Amino acid sequence: MFPDKKATEAIKSQPLLRISAVICGAIALLWLMSASADVPYRVVRTIPHDPQAFTQGLAYGDGYLYESTGLYGKSTIRQIDPASGEIVQQRALPAQLFGEGITLWQSTLVQLTWRERLGLIWDQASFEPLSTFDYRGEGWGITEDGSHWIVSDGSAHLRWLHPTTHQVIEQRLVTTADSQPVDQLNELELIEGEIWANLWNTDRIARIDPASGRCIEQLDFSELWPVAERPPGVDVMNGIAYDPQRREIYLTGKFWPLIYVIKFRDD
């Protein structure tokens, strides 16, 4: 099911990242200079990001970013230096698998696939394949709360999986305060006790109370990189990671040339 070890490579020369860093660094600087004081967050820095990466999942741990990219024949897992954006190592998925969400779990990386109903478990340090597991429905986003894996499938439901048996322990419908379902839950990240979820095909992120399933708020990131300024072919916002020590949030999207590192203004 997995590629052999030759599929793992450390990337030493990345001209696309360097070119995008020069061009997009200037764009980011202009944005920082003109950012509205009404926006509740501030961009503290930007990181070059591979503009050919169809980002499906993002996670932070042990000083590195970990990314899952999608598309059949192009799906990967990657370890990224958050200071430079350099891809430290990556591994390709088999061509028949479409990579989706990713999370760190006890020195492993847990990665979902879209329609294949197959989860992949990798060694965090070496990217060696360890095992696989099955689940029902589509795989979109995944995070963890220290006891369970929390997964999304593009609907308004979140499921809590047992990390050993991979069985569904509980399921919650995510709703607004007036009981309307919050649909299209995508990439997930646990941030200070809340589940943050990209809402597919939008620039919004839902803050969710995991105990009740209630959507506390939908954060609007439409000013982070306005749609009108994106070149043709650039896809939607997707990808959330959190550094709890710095209290910094990493945000990016599919084919985006930058990862934005943000803090909220009250931090």
Which tokens sit at 42? 């501030």
* Model pLDDT, residue 22: 43
Cα gap 79→146, rounded to integer Å: 22
Supply the pTM of this predicted model. Answer: 0.87
pLDDT higher than threshold 90 for residue 118: yes
8: confidence class by pLDDT, cuts 50, 70, 90: very low
Q: How many residues does the chain have?
A: 267
Q: How far apart are CA 193 and CA 106, in angstroms?
A: 19
DSSP assignment string, 12-79: ---HHHHHHHHHHHHHHHHHHHH--TTSSEEEEEEEE--TT--EEEEEEETTEEEEEE-STTT-EEEE
With 0-12 / 13-18 / 19 or more C-beta atoms within 10 angstroms meaning exposed / middle / buried, residue 62 is exposed
What is the identity of the amino acid at 193?
G
pLDDT at res. 38: 65
Least confident of 22-26, 161-165, 203-207: 22-26
31 falls in which pLDDT band (50, 70, 90)?
very low
Q: What is the largest CA-CA distance in the chain?
A: 53
Q: Is the dihedral of CA 101, 146, 172, 181 positive or negative?
A: negative
pLDDT surpasses 60 at 250? yes
Class of the CATH-defined domain 5-264: mainly beta
pLDDT tens digit sequence for 36-84: 456 789 999 999 999 999 999 999 999 999 999 999 999 999 999 999 9
CA distances from 251 to 173, 190, 256 (A): 25, 14, 10
The residue type of 213 is G
Interatomic CA distance for residues 175 and 158, integer angstroms = 11
Residue 183 has pLDDT above 80, yes or no: yes
pLDDT confidence bin for 142, thresholds 50/70/90: very high
Which pLDDT value is given to residue 40? Answer: 84
Burial class (CB in 10 A: 0-12, 13-18, 19+), 232: exposed
pLDDT in tens, 189-233: 999 999 999 999 999 999 999 999 999 999 999 999 999 999 999
Which amino acid does the sequence have at 189? Answer: E
The tokens for 123 are 């060694």
Query: Domain map of the chain by residue range?
Result: 5-264
